[in-house]
A and B are shown apart, each in its own frame.
Chain A
Amino acid sequence: MPKKIAFVTDKGGLDDRIYERFGRAPTFTIVEVGDNGEILSIKVVENPGFKAGSGAGIKAVQKLIDEGVEIVIGPNPGPNAYLALQQAGIKSISMLGVTVREALERFLSGK
């Protein structure tokens, strides 16, 4: 079964670095990965939490839900986003200071 993994990003794309904030990140880079770790598709979506007046974490997680994301890789989520991710059943993995490509490789190699 292919998996949709979201990366918390600024401009988006495989060479962008993981953004430092979760709910207020400008974009999510959603990578669909096949059973053998091959990349099936890459999509950059705007995060509605970026411009939200309040509830950025919830709005960000809602976007991930609507996109069918199962795993999100980025900074530690804030308290609201954390609760929302739990409710949504989306797994959150902390990774910072790397590009999306590096983060994906690390994730796939199980590190």
Chain B
Amino acid sequence: MKRLVVTGGKGGTGKSFIATNLAVLFAKKHHVVLADLDVEAPDDHVLLGIKELSNREEAKAFLPFIDTSKCTRCGVCAKVCDTGAILMPPKGFPVVFPRLCSGCTACYYACPYNAILKGYHVLGYSYVTKHPSIENLVLVTGVLREGEEHTPPVVVNVKKRAENTARDLLLIDTGAGTGNQIAISLKDADLVLAVTEPTPLGLHDLEAVLKITYEMGLKTWVVINRSGLGSIEKHVKTMKEYNVEKYFQVPFHRDAVDSYVKGVPVVEYKPGSIVSKSIYSIYTETENTLYGGGND
């Protein structure tokens, strides 16, 4: 199984746009699992025209419960809790604040009296949805519950489900930013595509994400979306600093917007468009690199 990860740092650069279009192209030749790990705002299903997500499962995280028949009120659990989710009051038993708990289980292992019971809380959900018309395309979607503070446990959970579903290509679409959940999404990637745009913000966040992929030793290429908006001189310079061997440009064009409005990937909506052609070239290069080429 091969892993291709689409990321980029800045929000709104077109990560999901590139990921969904590549998924459609790859699905012509490969079995594709597209994992939408942007759990704070998953929308790949919207771009793919999938009306309803199916096969819901809960994304659970450990949550401590106190066995008051065993608890001696020693306070060790509160001391080891890194997120401050356990309070040891002067009277009574430890108090757990579920919202603050990241599910790390430190308290469970630290308690000398085995007084911590393993409970769980639901941080979000995962879905596995077959694309209604593209046979080789399965979408795995993660959704964080409203108001939850802990994104990484949900991403880990959803990524696992996607890994269990994938057999040929796992195409991951990450969220914005450079948080822990992005590193989790990037881990074990065979190839990373960092999507950015020709703006100072795009440049700034591209560098932030390249630092991470460089540190993680991941082969990374760059996609400059909305090309034509501004200069990419500094982008190219930054790419050199981080050993990016290759970059692509997707033009700033109305066809991309129209496909968005229609809710159909542009490579399906207008295969002849210059936007589609530029994405097609990303597809052939990535496919070649991942699968060695020569199979056509």
Contact = CB atoms under 8 A, between A and B. Distances in A.
A1 to B, nearest CB: 15
B95 A55 contact: no
A80 B100 contact: yes
A55 B89 contact: no
Contacts of B83: 53-55
Interface in A48-69: 49, 52-59, 61-62, 65, 68
A87 B81 contact: no
B91 interface: yes
Contacts of A89: 89-91
Interface residues of B, number: 19
A62 B88 CA distance: 7
Chain A interface helix/strand/loop/mixed? helix
B87 interface: yes
Given A80-B100, A87-B95, A55 B90 contact: no
A83 interface: yes
Given A62-B78, A80-B97, A80-B100, A55 B91 contact: no
Given A65-B88, A68-B90, 11 more contacts: A49-B84, A54-B83, A54-B84, A55-B85, A55-B97, A58-B97, A62-B84, A65-B87, A65-B90, A88-B87, A88-B89
For the complex of A and B, the 5 pairs showing the least CB-CB separation, nearest first, are A55-B84, A58-B84, A54-B83, A59-B84, A55-B100
